[in-house]
């Protein structure tokens, strides 16, 4: 029996399709009472991971647990977890109601449950229409209705906003938030962080089958929101003071310093204390989309630093090391290292731990 915790736990998940490594050593957990975004570019292994959680794809190694059990050991699984995977799973000759009633029967539920979920997703008026004539948005709603049939405590959605109009997306956001606010679990994937920004509380970001961030969205935003480019008369003096203040800096090839996690006012104060003249100062704010892009491609850098400042105490873009929930998910710092490492050593199998190369 499952433990009813509403938790999804992914441990060391790994999936290869022949020579293609779709998912590589993925670890994360999804907690109840919140909406967790599962983000990554197309082809980063999101769908494969969700389908492994749902027992549809067999992992090469590792296990995914739903309520403390692998999916295959959940009795009457649709009452535990509902899933919207694609908007295609309908027989075109069936009506919305007859489609739902097939699964109502499979779940041993009363027939009225079909009409109840149709009402929940706003499809009551289309109950007797054949699904073959449904628009993509209606199909998404019907898929959601199907997922809700068993009144599950966990909802997993794969790119649910695809095909929804802005009104539909707003409705979906509200729905997911209210679903989670009742203490239930939502895991929703997307390739657009912006689309999810106002919906999700936590994010799991994957790139090329690897997890690059797992944690609070606000933390990601806070730890990343700005950095300062500056040119001063005596960079070494400023760096010494910055290090004393617990901050880091890096030299850029053009002689400027880049100081992450601060703003120009604070740097100006420190420059004054260090007695160096400020010749140039520039704030840069990253929005979430840029952070996301940086995390998932490893290609976003203002100007690639060639040599570390002395001493390179930490990755300049690492936040204070926020451990995500559940086990040992990588913090952002590790994630960033891993991505750049992956960029250089694409085939390196050790990348999962950001270890020695």
Partner 1 sequence: MNGLVKAEFRKIFTTHLWWALLLPVAVLSFLAGWGGAALGQTDFVLEITEGQNLPTGLLTMSLSTNNVTVFAVLLGALAVTGEYRQKTVTTTFLTANPRGAVLGAKLIAYTNVALLYGLVNALCSSLGGLVGLGADGFGELPQWLMVGGAGLLSMVLWTLVGIGLGALVTNSVAAVLIILGYLLVFEGMASSALTQTPVSWLTDYLPGEAASGIVGNVSVPMFISDVAGAREPFVSKTAFELLHSAFGGSYGFPWWGSLLVFVGYAAVFVAGGWLATAKRDIL
Pairing status of strand 185-190 against strand 35-39: parallel
Least Å distance, CB 75 to partner 1, is: 7
Of 51 and 208, which CB lies nearer to partner 1 in the complex structure? 51
Is the Cβ–Cβ distance between 283 and 228 less than 8 Å?
Answer: yes
Q: Which stretch binds partner 1 (CB under 8 A): 48-56, 172-180, 208-216, 223-231?
A: 48-56
Choice from 18, 19, 20, 58 touching partner 1 (CB under 8 A): 58
- Binding partner 1 (rule: CB under 8 A), the pick from 3, 86, 119, 280 is 86
Give the residue, chosen from 105, 170, 277, 357, that forms a contact with partner 1 under the rule CB under 8 A.
Answer: 105
CB of 151 to partner 1, least distance (A): 13
Report the nearest approach of partner 1 to the CB of residue 34 (Å): 23
Ordered DSSP codes for 228-264: EEEEES-HHHHHHHHHHTT---EE-TTS-EEEES--H
Task: Assess 134 for contact with partner 1 (CB under 8 A).
Answer: no
DSSP string, 262-300: --HHHHHHHHHHHT--EEEEEEEE--HHHHHHHHHHS--
Ordered strands of the 210-216 beta sheet: 81-84, 154-158, 185-190, 35-39, 202-207, 210-216
* Minimum distance of partner 1 from residue 146's CB (angstroms): 6
Report residue 252 CA to chain centroid gap.
31
Cβ proximity to partner 1: between 63 and 243 the closer is 63
Q: Which of 18, 75, 110, 166 binds partner 1 (CB under 8 A)?
A: 75
C-alpha span between 195 and 262 (Å, rounded): 27
**Side-chain half-sphere CA neighbours of 292 within 13 A:** 20
Q: How many angstroms separate the CA atoms of 272 and 315, rounded?
A: 26
Q: Are 186 and 179 in contact (CB under 8 A)?
A: yes
The answer to whether 39 contacts partner 1 (rule: CB under 8 A) is: no
The CA distance from 68 to 78, in Å, is 15
216, 30 Cβ separation under 8 angstroms: no
Q: Which of 28, 38, 65, 71 binds partner 1 (CB under 8 A)?
A: 71
Count interface residues toward partner 1 (CB under 8 A). Answer: 38
Nearer of residues 72 and 347 to partner 1, judged by Cβ: 72
Which one of 66, 85, 270, 332 is in contact with partner 1 (CB under 8 A)?
Answer: 85
Contact string (CB under 8 A) for partner 1, positions 203-242, x = contact = ----------------------------------------
- Contacting positions for partner 1 (CB under 8 A): 51, 54-58, 71-78, 81-83, 85-86, 88-95, 98, 101-103, 105-108, 146, 149-150
């Amino acid at each position: 029996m499952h433990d009813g915790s509403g938790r999804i736990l992914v441990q060391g998940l790994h999936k290869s399709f022949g020579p293609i490594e779709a998912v590589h050593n993925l670890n994360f957990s999804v907690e109840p009472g919140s909406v967790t975004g599962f983000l990554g570019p197309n082809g980063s292994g999101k769908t494969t991971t969700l389908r492994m959680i749902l027992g549809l794809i067999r992992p090469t190694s590792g296990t995914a647990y739903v309520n403390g059990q692998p999916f295959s050991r959940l009795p009457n699984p649709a009452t535990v977890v509902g899933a919207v995977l694609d908007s295609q799973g309908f027989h075109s000759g069936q009506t919305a109601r007859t489609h739902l009633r097939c699964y109502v029967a499979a779940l041993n539920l009363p027939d009225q449950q079909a009409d109840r979920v149709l009402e929940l997703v706003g499809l009551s008026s289309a109950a007797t229409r054949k699904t073959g004539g449904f628009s993509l948005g209606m199909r998404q709603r019907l898929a959601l209705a199907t997922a809700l049939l068993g009144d599950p405590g966990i909802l997993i959605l794969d790119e649910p906003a695809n095909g929804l109009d802005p009104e539909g997306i707003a409705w979906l956001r509200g729905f997911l938030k209210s679903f989670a606010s009742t203490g239930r679990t939502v895991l929703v994937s997307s390739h657009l962080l912006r689309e999810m920004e106002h919906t999700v509380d936590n994010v799991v970001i994957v790139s090329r089958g690897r997890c690059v961030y797992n944690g609070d969205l606000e933390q990601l935003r806070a730890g990343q929101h700005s950095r300062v480019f500056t040119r001063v008369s005596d960079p070494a003096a400023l760096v010494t003071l910055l290090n004393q203040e617990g901050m880091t800096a890096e030299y850029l090839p053009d002689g400027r310093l880049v100081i992450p996690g601060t703003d120009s006012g604070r740097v100006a104060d420190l420059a004054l204390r260090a007695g160096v003249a400020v010749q140039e100062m520039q704030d840069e704010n990253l929005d979430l989309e840029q952070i996301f892009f940086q995390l998932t491609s490893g290609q976003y850098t203002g100007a690639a630093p060639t040599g570390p400042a002395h001493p390179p105490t930490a990755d300049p873009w690492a936040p204070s090391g926020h451990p995500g929930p559940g086990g040992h998910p990588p913090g952002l710092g590790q994630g960033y290292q891993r991505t750049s490492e992956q960029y250089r050593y694409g085939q390196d199998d050790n990348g999962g731990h950001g270890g020695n190369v």
